Amino acid sequence: MAGLHYRMTFIDQLAESQVEVRSKSSPPVLKRRKQDENVLEILRDKKQLTLQVSKLEKRSQRLSSKTSNTSSNALISHRSHMFSAGSYGHPDICCRPCILFLHGHCKHAGHCGFCHVAHEEHMPTLDKHSREFLKDLPELSFMEMVLPYFRKRVENTEFPGAERILQLLESEMTIRDTTGIRVQRIPHKIRYVVERMSLGRLVSLVCSTLRRGKFPKLMSNELKALRQTAKTLTS
């Protein structure tokens, strides 16, 4: 309700808008101070969290470095003790990789006849259809197919005596009658696998494909002698 004010001979009415009513709530200055205090608390908490995180990171780095050093030393010791009999001549003339050792439970340890050293790349294998195809080939055609790969592997190997395997294969091809023999076309899939075989696996392929006569036995003996040479040089 508007108030009445008597002045001189006139009665004036005071407008409600002229009446200044101040709120009883906290002044704005106090609110800003409270916000500032909250901001300071948040900053302090954030700084503490940052320090804790940095300490945890440093501690985890020290633990990881100790663990990595321990695991690497254990791995080196494990590999040195688990070098098997089939690992000599790795990777050229070693035996096939040991599946049990890859899973961590080879009971034969150093006496295992398979390779315990990790191979850098996956060793390709021939499927059953490809193996049957090679067995149905004329024997001379098969030997002419693998001859270039034997030459390449023998040239790249560092073990003395590997050339005897190549000479044995070439002499066997010379002995066989080549009259009327026509080299058949070998599928690219088979050539792709054979090209990536090591010298030891090439000898094994020849022995498993050519089972008749003395030639496979002679090739196997030459490979054993070469592995024995590698064992002597390694020891």
Are 159 and 132 contained in the same domain? yes
Same domain, 159 and 204: yes
- Whether residue 181 lies inside any domain: the answer is yes
Q: The pTM is what?
A: 0.62
Helix 199-209 and helix 215-234: axis angle, to 10°? 160
Quick one: 195 and 159 in the same domain? Answer: yes
For the segment 185-235, what is each residue's pLDDT rounded down to a tens digit? 888 999 999 999 999 999 999 999 998 889 999 999 999 999 999 888 887
151 CB neighbour count, 10 Å cutoff = 14
- Whole domain around residue 40: which residue ranges? 34-76
Please tell me the predicted confidence (pLDDT) of residue 194: 93
Average pLDDT taken over every residue of the chain? 76
Distance, in Å, from the CA atom of 58 to the CA atom of 54, rounded to the nearest integer, reads 6
Q: Look at residue 109 and give its three-state secondary structure.
A: helix
Task: Count the domains in the chain.
Answer: 3
Given this model, what pLDDT does residue 75 score?
A: 42
Cβ–Cβ under 8 Å, residues 200 and 208: no
